[in-house]
Structure 1
Amino acid sequence: MPHVTFILPGGERREIVASVGRTLLEVAWDNNLDVEGACGGVAACSTCHVIVDPAWAGRLTPPDEEEDQMLDLAW
């Protein structure tokens, strides 16, 4: 199972074991982390975007075109 480290505002670190196939938003919500997801996690608003450590970015599936366009709105 993947291990995910969330670094919260203020610097608190929460290390969580996640289930394969769950989104980071679902993992956050499953563990009572206060992560906004205004659209409920359907990739329609970009409020739940995250910053991935560059050392790990290559291990992730690249965003598809729709997600990439949505992420442009977050910045």
Structure 2
Amino acid sequence: MLYASTKATLKQEFGSAHIKDEMHATSKDEVCLKGYKAHVSGINAPAPLTDREEALKELQQSGQGPNYGTDSRQST
């Protein structure tokens, strides 16, 4: 609880407009430039996809996705 109240007070004193990014660290190695760059690259990384989502994305990019439009025909 002390950590949460100190963090809130610090944010309030600086103003939320001045704080660009929050970072949580558990070791000294994470609180260095290399650790911060790893944190930023993790934020900017694309979201992980399931196998099904990856296959659907590949179909959409190749232009061969399923055709559900009004001008598609079903073979009978």
User: Relative contact order (alpha carbons < 8 A, sep ≥ 6): 1 or 2 greater?
Assistant: 1
Q: TM-score range by the shorter chain?
A: under 0.3
Higher alpha-carbon Rg: 2
Identify the structure with the greater helix proportion. Answer: 2
Identify the structure with the greater strand proportion. Answer: 1
Q: What TM-score comes out, normalization by structure 2 length?
A: 0.23
